[in-house]
Every structure is written in structure tokens, then in C-alpha cells.
Amino acid sequence: MKQTKIAVLVSGGGTNLQALLDAQAAGTLHRGRIVLVISDRPGAFALKRAEKSGVPGLEISKKACGGQAAFEQKLTEALEDHGADLIILAGFLSILSADFTRAWDHRILNIHPSLIPSFCGAGFYGLKVHEAALARGVKVTGATVHYVNEIPDGGEIIAQKAVEILPGDTPEILQRRVMEQAEWILLPQAAETVSALLADR
Ligand code: GAR
């Protein structure tokens, strides 16, 4: 059986990466295999998770590279070195250029912690998304997995899951509920579906 080689790009704690690694260990992610984890932030805890699972990890920082073009060149080299066919952005906070996303058309997935098109686009990431949802007073939020194109959070939607907002929610409490009830379920499922699509092509 052909497997799609997955590179996961991260910036922080890596709980979504962990959900992917756990799905792989449990066999629910089996049409794809995580071959590389890349962090754009030095010392991201996500790299420790990769190491613990025996997956190669790399740090590639835009600042150290000296700009977007050099950063993406390094990313491309690392992805090619590891034979990656699919990129999963799991809490990855750098924006990728139109040239890069075009080169990987329908081969980059992102998880976003809201029901797109609400609370998404430039400036909406991490806790800020949940702060905005609470400030607007919506009663339902959720998570979205989508393909990545040149528009931040603008690519084709693959899967969404709704999560209730409850009285007394803080951004932190809501973030955790969205992760537990939506992100950590949706992302491994979408990774399996798209890996199978690519592997069977
Ligand atoms: C997750 O909630 C993810 O959806 C979000 O950042 C968090 C990363 O957590 N991503 C975005 O906001 C992208 N716009 P993690 O490092 O524990 O997976």
C-alpha cells in the first residue's frame, strides 16, 4: 500500500501535531506517514514531541534565513530531502507566499480554530480567534480544516466541526474545548482522507 509522506509545520506547543502522531500510532492515520516536523520558532515544544516519536525535526526561522524567499527556499529543500508529498500546517504561524502555495496546490492543509469564514484571515490566530468569538458574542464556534492557497484561511474547506460556547468561557477555556471537541478529531481524519487521495492518484 502506497503511503503519502507528510511534513507537519508547527510554531508552538504542538497539540495538533500530537493528535496526528497519536493517530499514526493508533493506526487511524495509515495512508499517510509523518516523515518530518519543521518549526519556524526555535525551541518550540512541538519539536520535543516529534523527537519523542522518533520523527526528524528541524528549525527553520524566517529571521535566521533573512527573508521570505530564503525561508521558503530552505523549507522547499527540507521537504524535498524528506520526499514530502503533503504539508500539514498545525499551529504554524508564518504566512506562505503565493508562489509557494501554488507549487503545493491542494497539497497543504491547515487547521483553523473557528468556523471559517468567521474569525479568520490575517491577524486571527491562536487565542486571538477565541477572544474575537467571545467579544462578538457568538454562541457556536468550532474548527475548520482547509486547503491552503494564497489567501490567508481562504482555501477550499475540507471539514468543519461546531463547538458550543458556554456561559463563563474565557479564551483559554474555549480554546481547550475547541481543541478537544474539534481540532484533535478533525485534523487526523482530514490527514487520512487527503493522504489516501494523494496516495491513490
Ligand atoms: C491551534 O488552536 C490551531 O488551530 C491554531 O493555533 C493553535 C496551535 O496549537 N492555529 C491558528 O490559529 C492558525 N491560524 P498547537 O500548537 O497546540 O497545535
- The response to whether residue 92 sits with its C-beta less than 6 Å from ligand 1 reads no
Nearest atom in ligand 1 to the alpha carbon of residue 179 is: 2
Nearest atom in ligand 1 to the alpha carbon of residue 16 is: 18
pTM above 0.95, yes or no: yes
Confidence of residue 1 (pLDDT cuts 50, 70, 90): confident
Rounded Cα–Cα distance for residues 182 and 142 (Å): 6
- The response to whether residue 171 sits with its C-beta less than 6 Å from ligand 1 reads no
**Domain limits at 194?**
4-199
CA distances 65 to 25, 61, 83, 120, Å, are: 34, 6, 22, 28
List, for residues 135-157, the tens digit of each pLDDT value.
999 999 999 999 999 999 999 99
Rounded Cα–Cα distance for residues 175 and 130 (Å): 6
List, for residues 97-108, the tens digit of each pLDDT value.
999 999 999 999
Catalytic residues: 112
Q: Which residue has the CA at smallest separation from atom 17 of ligand 1?
A: 15
- The response to whether residue 14 sits with its C-beta less than 6 Å from ligand 1 reads yes
Rounded Cα–Cα distance for residues 117 and 137 (Å): 16
CATH number at residue 66: 3.40.50.170
Rounded Cα–Cα distance for residues 14 and 29 (Å): 17
Provide the number of structural domains found in the chain: 1
